[in-house]
Amino acid sequence: MLKQVQQPLQSMLLIQQANQVACYICGAGNTYDVELCRDCFAPMALAHQAASQKVMPNLVAALGSSAAGKTVYLGMLMDMLSRQPDRLQAFARGAFSINLQQAAAGALARGEFPEKTPCEPDRWNWVHCQIRSHAQKTPLELILPDMPGEALLEELDHPHTYRVVYPLLAKSLGVLIFVDASRLQSGSLDEDYFTMKLLSYLTEIQAGGRHDWSRRPVAFVLTKADECEPCFDDPATFVQFRAPGFWRQCRERFRNYRFFAAGVAGGCAYRSTRYGRVRVPLRVEPRGIVEPFEWIVKQLKS
Q: Is 190 in the site for other proteins (CB under 8 A)?
A: no
Task: Decide: is 291 part of the binding site for other proteins (CB under 8 A).
Answer: no
Q: Is 133 in the site for other proteins (CB under 8 A)?
A: no
Q: Among 14, 15, 51, 109, which residue sits at the site for other proteins (rule: CB under 8 A)?
A: 109
Contact between 53 and other proteins (CB under 8 A)?
no
Q: How large is the greatest C-alpha to C-alpha distance in the chain, in angstroms?
A: 80
Nearer to other proteins among residue 51 and residue 282 (C-beta): 282
| E strand intervals along 189-290 | 218-223, 257-261, 263-273, 276-287
Among positions 94, 111, 139, 230, the unique one binding other proteins when judged by CB under 8 A = 111
Least gap, CB of 237 to other proteins (angstroms)? 14
C-beta closer to other proteins: residue 195 or 223: 223
Pick the closer one to other proteins by CB: 154 or 227: 227
Residues 201-260 that bind other proteins (CB under 8 A): 229
Q: How far is the CB of 286 from other proteins (least distance, A)?
A: 6
CA distance 237 to 295: 19
> Please, which residues bridge with residue 280 across strands?
269
Q: Which residues of 148-174 are buried (b: 16+ CB within 10 A; e: fewer)?
A: bbbbbbebbeeeeebbbbbbbbbbbbb
Q: At what angle do helices 149-157 and 190-204 cross, to 10 degrees?
A: 60
Question: Cα(165)–Cα(192) distance, rounded to whole angstroms?
Answer: 21
Please report whether residue 84 would count as binding other proteins according to CB under 8 A: yes
Residue 42 binds to other proteins (criterion: CB under 8 A) = no
C-alpha 54/C-alpha 59 separation (Å) is 16
> By three-state DSSP, how is residue 200 classified?
helix
CB of 141 or CB of 291, closer to other proteins = 291
x/- track of binding to other proteins for residues 146-185 (CB under 8 A):
----------------------------------------
266 binds other proteins (CB under 8 A): yes
Using the contact rule CB under 8 A, the part of the chain among 2-10, 158-166, 185-193, 276-284 near other proteins is 276-284
Q: Which of 187, 172, 302, 174 is closest to 243 using CA atoms?
A: 187
DSSP state, residue 132: E
* Letter string b/e over residues 200-237, b meaning 16 or more CB atoms within 10 A of that residue's CB: ebbeebebeeeeebeebbbbbbbbbbbbbeebbeebee
Exposed, middle or buried by CB within 10 Å (0-12, 13-18, 19+), for 56? exposed
Among the residue ranges 58-66, 109-117, 131-139, 201-209, the one whose residues contact other proteins (CB under 8 A): 109-117
Check binding of 135 to other proteins (CB under 8 A): no
Binding site for other proteins (CB under 8 A): 83-84, 108-111, 229, 266-272, 277, 280, 282-287
